[in-house]
Amino acid sequence: MTIRTRFTELVGVRHPIMQGGMMWVGRAEMAAAVSNAGGLGTITALTQPTPDDLRREIERCRALTDKPFAVNLTILPSVSPPPYAEYRKAIIDMGVKIVETAGGKPQEHVADLKAHGLIVIHKCTSVRHALAAERFGVDAISIDGFECAGHPGEDDVPGLVLIPAAADRIGIPMLASGGLADGRGLAAALALGADGVNMGTRFCATVEAPIHNSVKEFLVANSERDTALIFRNFHNTGRVAKNSVSERVVALSAEQGATFNDVRPLVSGAKGREALETGNLDAGLIWAGQVQGLIHDIPTCSALLTRIVGDAETIINKRLAASITAD
């Protein structure tokens, strides 16, 4: 089973499916499992405490797969930012061929990565940002609909509108992201003009995901209604799974005069990591999208990708073709 697109040709993978960068989840075993299954796995750079740790993680991934994989570098606003340039240098020095960038003002990083011959996929939440990224030289776009986990931007445009709107104006390969978990989503994304899909939450509920099984079961049990939008009042909207922590964050944020400092103790990355690693679902935030409502099992990455591509091919070649009749 093969679906060839501009994306598969660009990065040299069998299936037009990418595992997005996810904090604490995008480790070597996750990326290698997706790549070995025919997709594009991704290591999350900032999950590693230092650039040297990232170098070791890249080596570990290479020991687990001989297939292409990417490294995610997300640029976030911070009063004490991590040494992004050093992480970027580690990626280049280790001979990584594909990078997923995300966040604001990535031009410096993209220029350096491109100067060293890397393929850059930039994640965007709006058409205007995608067009800007195309102008400063990225090779592909991952466009995030409002359904997605993480930060969906402030425009609240869902994928059914955002994907074709972007496809109408972007000339480089494009991945659809947000709300995608199965063959129906892949077939729909291709029909809307995308060249593949970028999935995050769905890969958390796989055998190889390096998180506690209780979290995986939590995602399977949840419905599409079990997410919360946090940080709305601070103009940095994030979508997470509903739990006691997210409910408290939403309540505190709604109080008159609230600032980010009022919720800061609840939303630390360390607490989120604790939730993922210990299975204590109320230890911190668990980032997840509305696609939870489409997740019904915990397969291996190989079984998941085989099923997604097989179902997409059946939809495209049989179901849709059979529904068309000549007048």
User: Does 263 lie in the same domain as 114?
Assistant: no
User: Does 170 lie in the same domain as 122?
Assistant: yes
Number of domains composing the chain: 2
Report, as an integer, the average pLDDT of 301-321: 92
User: Does 186 lie in the same domain as 77?
Assistant: yes
Domain ends where: 152, 185, 208? 208
Report, as an integer, the average pLDDT of 190-209: 98
User: Does 70 lie in the same domain as 196?
Assistant: yes
CA angle 158–164–166, rounded 5-degree value: 90
Which has the minimum average pLDDT: 50-54, 77-81, 152-156?
A: 77-81
User: Does 156 lie in the same domain as 33?
Assistant: yes
Which has the minimum average pLDDT: 36-40, 285-289, 298-302, 320-324?
A: 320-324
* pLDDT at 77 (0 to 100): 74
Strand pairing report for 227-230 and 238-241? antiparallel
Q: Is the pLDDT of residue 114 over 90?
A: yes
User: Does 34 lie in the same domain as 110?
Assistant: yes
The pLDDT tens digits for 123-142 are 999 999 999 999 999 999 99
* pLDDT at 88 (0 to 100): 98
Q: Is the pLDDT of residue 1 over 80?
A: no
DSSP symbols for 226-276: -EEEESGGGT--EEEE-SHHHHHHHHHHHSTT--HHHHGGGS-HHHHHHHH
Domain that holds residue 229: 213-290
Place of tokens 């103790």: 265
**How far is 113 from 134, CA to CA, in rounded Å?**
15
Domain ends where: 150, 176, 208? 208
The pLDDT tens digits for 297-310 are 999 999 999 999 99
Q: Which residues pair with 72 in a beta bridge?
A: 44, 100
Q: Is the pLDDT of residue 91 over 90?
A: yes
* pLDDT at 318 (0 to 100): 81
User: Does 269 lie in the same domain as 136?
Assistant: no
User: Does 226 lie in the same domain as 183?
Assistant: no
* pLDDT at 192 (0 to 100): 98
φ and ψ of 101, to 5 deg: -105, 155
User: Does 132 lie in the same domain as 222?
Assistant: no
Is 295 part of a structural domain of the chain? no
Per DSSP, 318 falls in state I
* pLDDT at 326 (0 to 100): 60
Q: Taking a C-beta distance cutoff of 8 angstroms, is the pair 92, 113 a contact? A: yes
Is 126 part of a structural domain of the chain? yes
Q: Which pTM does this prediction carry?
A: 0.95
User: Does 203 lie in the same domain as 99?
Assistant: yes
User: Does 196 lie in the same domain as 225?
Assistant: no
* pLDDT at 105 (0 to 100): 85
Which of 231, 194, 142, 158 lies closest to 312, judged by CA? 194
CATH (domain of 187): 3.20.20.70
Domain ends where: 175, 208, 241? 208
Q: Is the pLDDT of residue 269 over 70?
A: yes
User: Does 233 lie in the same domain as 106?
Assistant: no
Is 242 part of a structural domain of the chain? yes
Q: Taking a C-beta distance cutoff of 8 angstroms, is the pair 25, 209 a contact? A: yes
* pLDDT at 18 (0 to 100): 98
